[in-house]
Structure 1
Amino acid sequence: MTSTFTTRPVRLGTRPSPMAMEQTAHFAEIFRSRHPGICLEIVTIVSEGDRHRGPLSQLDGKGAFTRSADTRLLDGRVEATISCAKDLPSPHDRAPDITVGAVLPREDARDVLVLPSGHSPATLADLPPGTRVGTSAPRRAALLRTLYPELEPVAIRGNADSRLSGLDSGTLGVDVMIAALAGLHRLGLAERASQILDPTQWLPASGAGIIVIEHRSDDPTTANLLAPLTHHPTRIVLDAERAALATLHGDCLTAASVHAVHDPAAESVTVHAVVLDPAGGTPIRTIASGPDTHPARTGRRAGKQLLNAGAAALMGSPS
């Protein structure tokens, strides 16, 4: 099964950011423990999103961080790629012939408020009106307009470490920022979280805290290497979340949240799905539950329920 790779390495494509390299090193440790006789070579890939300094919408932001990796995967320059699931395009926007081969255990999906270094601890509710809150996510901007309309969301770019440096130096153009707790953990900077935001109100990103490794659909050798590394409870919730997002024709630039919860005792998965109004109006919410043997089916049902409730009016009609 693994003889193809005994004379050459398995090439794993990854972005070169500190956070991406940390999560890649974590996966590499898992891979090498499972396959000690196989060489894993790390190949860094600079994406369109990494090179571009303006708004992601200028790049047709869907997949700005994965298109370069997809190209190298499909033309055979790498056997696999590693990504944060929340950065992946929705399946309806994805390059064909790419398959998720391994899913690592979900980390904390919550967002956090980050203040400049040395700032006294505070929460979003403590911040004075007009405070500029940095974020690159339409979901977060819509949540701010809904829950804290007195605050001003401001679009920011850059990797997590460069954003933190800019925030501390005053060059980021914002007073505070929102970040992913899982990302801070990977950087060893979880103490920078001034407030961990309640996920029942501050809704997580779809795929938040989940690392996926993908391969070409026509590459069974790599598929067989990756399959034993999958954390199946996380695969269940990921499949449910991505199915709902695909039904909505949404992506990482959509002001929406799909968050699934697996109940192993009941052998069920529950999908909490919300489409937010970018202007700060009333969100449209739904919940769907089903057996954990068919998570994508439950996700699709949640997406259809949102569309039937009028979510398309907030998102723009699916094409």
Structure 2
Amino acid sequence: MALEQTGRFAELFRRCHPDLVLDVVEVVSEGDRHVGPLSRIGGKGAFTRTADRRLLAGEVDMAIACAKDVPGPHDREPGIAVGAVLPREDVRDVLVLPAGHPPATLADLPRGSRVGTSAPRRAALLKALYPALLPVPIRGNADSRLARLDSGALGVDAMIAALAGLGRLGLTGRVSEVLDPARWLPASGAGIVVIEHRGDDKATRDLLAPLTDAPTHALLDAERAALAALGGGCLTAASVHASLDPRTALLTVRAAVLDPGGAGALRATASGAADRAADLGREAGERLLRDGAARWLDGRP
């Protein structure tokens, strides 16, 4: 998936800057190598830490990542800035079943079915919405997880995946159910690819600026500001989703912190002009804190 994202970015970059040479350097993250829980190797930072080091050392000038895998600014090494934000894709999660399994929904699965996911948000949603099902931690990239699901080696009966990720790989045919985002709350940064650079690298920043989709950048600013206000970590079961009304330019941030035990959720909403995206996100996050969200931010019920 990372290579597909890189290829898509490279095409945009070369179209915008046809006279420049773009060298692609493949970086294998700690998150890709590790097979256990992400919390043991620093949570979300596992997917960016290696690229961050190479970026800050000047070995590469840009790094590409899924926005939902990028840690918040409160728990990341300083000196890295977002230079380009690509247009948002689908934010929804989906149910994937082993190859050959008849189509089914989460509600159809037998009691006690094991559903694979590495995300605390998804695990909390499963416990709240489908208490008869059992969330099971899984690791690996999308291709390897699908292959192990089909062979039975993944140790689960089904798994939850991001629709955007499957779409990038041309695997939407594996979707058994698309989960309604009104109930199955999406991840912050879902469906967004970002390109980062060293904060003091003005030349690269100027090269990346024309590639940015401004509405998506505003949505991402709002979502990341809410997470920063919460100060949550890799165990936090949280959702922040921003939307922009194209007719009124009204940006709305919907944020929630979920009980890891599945008992419920605290929710907050903030709306306003798109040029106040970060302020609106921060407002939603602060409302959740005032309502008592802190008790769930460390992953404990």
For the aligned pair, the TM-score class normalised by the smaller chain equals over 0.9
CA offsets 1:124-164 (integer angstroms, 9 cap, x no match): 00001000000000000000000000000000000000000
1:32 pairs with 2:32: no
Task: Tell me the C-alpha RMSD between the 2 structures.
Answer: 1.0
Identity of aligned residues (%): 67
TM-superposed CA distance for 1:122, in Å, is 0.2
Report deviation, 1:279: 0.4
CA distance in 1, matches of 2:39, 2:149: 23
Secondary structure of residue in 2 paired with 1:62: helix
Query: Is residue 192 from structure 1 mapped to residue 167 from structure 2 by the alignment?
Result: no
Aligned equivalent of 1:206: 188
Match of 2:103 in 1: 121
**Where do 1:1-319 residues align within 5 Å?**
19-251=1-233, 253-316=235-298
* Residues 188-245 of structure 1: per-residue CA shift (max 9 Å, x gap): 0001010000000000000000000000111110000000000001001000000000
- Paired with 2:287 and 2:218, the residues of 1 have a C-alpha distance of 20
Q: Structure 2: how far apart are the matches of 1:168 and 1:279?
A: 29
**In structure 1, what residue type is equivalent to 2:207?**
L
Runs of 4+ in 1 over 3 A off after TM superposition: none
C-alpha distance in structure 1 between counterparts of 2:51 and 2:154, whole Å: 28
User: Do the aligned partners of 1:110 and 1:182 also contact (CA within 8 Å) in 2?
Assistant: yes
Give 1:276's aligned amino acid: L
CA deviation profile, 1:240-284 (whole Å, cap 9, x unmatched): 000000000124542000000012321221000010000011110
After TM superposition, the score normalised by the length of structure 1 is: 0.92
Unmatched segments (≥5 aa) in structure 1: 1-18
Q: 1:105 to 1:252 in 2, by over 3 A?
A: farther
CA contact (8 A) 2:42 2:234 kept: no
Using the TM superposition, name which of 261-270 and 145-154 deviates more: 261-270
Maintained 8 Å contact 2:91/2:187: yes
**Contact 2:43–2:233 (CA under 8 A) maintained in structure 1:** no
Deviations 1:100-135 (A, max 9, x none): 000000000000000000110000000010000000
Higher mean Cα deviation, 239-248 or 92-101?
A: 92-101
Q: Secondary structure at the match of 1:38?
A: coil
Q: Which amino acid aligns with 1:167?
A: L
C-alpha separation in 2, matches of 1:157 and 1:53: 5
Is the contact made by 1:87 and 1:252 (CA closer than 8 Å) also made in structure 2? no
What secondary structure, in the 3-state scheme, does the structure 1 residue paired with 2:296 have? helix
Quick check: 1:104–1:210 contact (8 Å CA) kept in 2? yes
SS at match of 2:253: strand
Q: What do residues 293-313 of structure 1 show as CA deviations (whole Å, max 9, x unaligned)? A: 110000000000000111001
Please say if residues 88 and 252 of structure 1, whose CA atoms lie closer than 8 Å, have aligned partners that are also in contact.
no
Distance 1:100 1:185 in 2: 24
Paired residues, what number?
299
- One-letter amino acid matched to 1:138: P
> Does structure 2 retain, via aligned residues, the 8 Å contact 1:62–1:93?
no
Q: Tell me the secondary structure at the aligned position of residue 46 of structure 2.
A: coil
Local SS of the residue matching 1:215: strand
CA distance in 1: counterparts of 2:102 and 2:253, whole angstroms: 37
TM-score, normalised to structure 2, is: 0.98
